[in-house]
Amino acid sequence: MNASHTVSPLAPKTTPTLPRIAGITLGAVEAGIRYKGRTDVMLALLPAGAVIAGVLTKSKTASAPVEWCRKNLARGKVRAILANAGNANAFTGKAGDKSVEEATRAVAQALGCARNEVFMASTGVIGQPLDPAPFAKHMPALIKAAREDGWADASAAIMTTDTFPKLATRTCRIGDATVTLNGFAKGSGMIAPDMATMLAFAFTDAKLPPAVLQKLLSDATDKSFNCITVDGDTSTSDTLLLAATGGAKHPRIDEADDPMLVEFKRALDDLMIELAQLVARDGEGASKFITINVTGATSNGAARKIGLAVANSPLVKTAIAGEDANWGRIVMAVGKAGEKADRDKLRISIGGVRITDGGQVVPKYDETPVVRHIKGQDVVIDIELGLGRGKCTVWTCDLTHRYIDINGSYRS
């Protein structure tokens, strides 16, 4: 995070203090990867027997850390997660793979575990070699810094253009046992996830098989991180990992559809949605948080595609930034999405005020309350297609000149 960045006006008023999860410690150090005067590497340590699931970017130019995670997720075992900010280690060729190899080896040797139980994620500038030496050099200090209450430190260490840390926590019941879920994420620009956000890490003390954990995480991702966008650009580095220690004493779970998981599923979905919304609220240069509710589509997938077409439209986003109730741009975005839409059934509302019906603007439409709504920080757009039962909610932010300022000088 550049010191000149002011905190987003959409940032939450308070940051939660995450509870301890037995067996998990987190630490952060200043390793000089790119930044000066701030931490930029974090390490999460997990107990023997912990399992992991993940979803990774579908980008065809994925980073070396993403490919390392993809290679090892199927094993389902984890002892540590290492992450750095400032350098994405993407499009760095064989040297990038070598950097991951040496960094994960430094962790594995320090812990006495297999290297394929060490997962890595990187975020920052694309195309610059990542020197692995700082990881080995700072590994003793990083492990020494790891604490059960190190959540805030770990979250701050992975920030790039973020203006505030993003943390969330939930508790729920599995059987008679209370289970905790903690998570933190980073992301501000290059956000149009095709799986997750740029980087996000979640942890729980539930005892679940890797396959069950993976199914729950994939389902939660589709309702959360895959429903946000800031600028329509999918990162090379998108990584979402969920680790479970197995410390909670609840009945054995073998299937993702076990009735005992109802509360856990809801808690995981809520946690992921909160983290995803925090990313959208911290969109580069954002001044308004936008919720787009699409209903009546031919399928849930069609609803998402239409919602994202609206959310990614520069014309829609700049109109809202300028507090211009130009609903015609929403009509345009729905029409270009490539999904079925019927002019005469399409109903658009902003701030709860119906604007279109029967293929045209409603009689005696009064724009005054709509303009008043758009002048606020939270804008709600409802799109009813009237074609089926498909629905989806998408979250985004407006597009201001500040976005150009940030990205026009990102490498400098």
Annotated binding site for substrate: 160, 186, 197, 284, 407, 412
List the end-to-end C-alpha distance of the chain, in Å, as a whole number: 13
Q: What angle do CA 73, 395, 219 make, to 5 degrees?
A: 35
Q: Which residues contact 39 (CB under 8 A, 6 or more apart)?
A: 28, 29, 30, 153, 156, 157
Tokens of 257: 């559809």
How far lies 409's CA from each of 19, 161, 382, 406, 412, in Å? 38, 11, 36, 6, 5
* Burial bucket for residue 194 (CB in 10 Å: 0-12, 13-18, 19+): middle
Contact between 264 and 279 (Cβ < 8 Å): no
Q: Is residue 15 flagged as an active site residue?
A: no
φ/ψ (deg, to 5) at 392: -165, 145
Return the H-helix or E-strand segment holding 262. helix 262-281
What residues form DSSP beta bridges with 122? 84
Among residues 151, 156, 160, 93, the alpha carbon closest in space to that of 122 is found at: 160
CB count in 10 Å sphere of residue 217? 21
Bind-site residues: 160, 186, 197, 284, 407, 412
How far lies 3's CA from each of 40, 83, 160, 291, in Å? 14, 21, 11, 29
Instruction: Determine which one of 25, 39, 169, 197 is catalytic.
Output: 197
Tokens of 223: 């309702």
Residue labelled with tokens 């045209």 = 360
How far lies 269's CA from each of 112, 177, 241, 349, in Å? 34, 19, 14, 27
Among residues 134, 346, 314, the alpha carbon closest in space to that of 231 is found at: 314
Strands 356-357 and 80-87: unpaired
Tokens of 209: 């098989």
Encoded amino acid at 122, one letter: S
Active site residues: 197
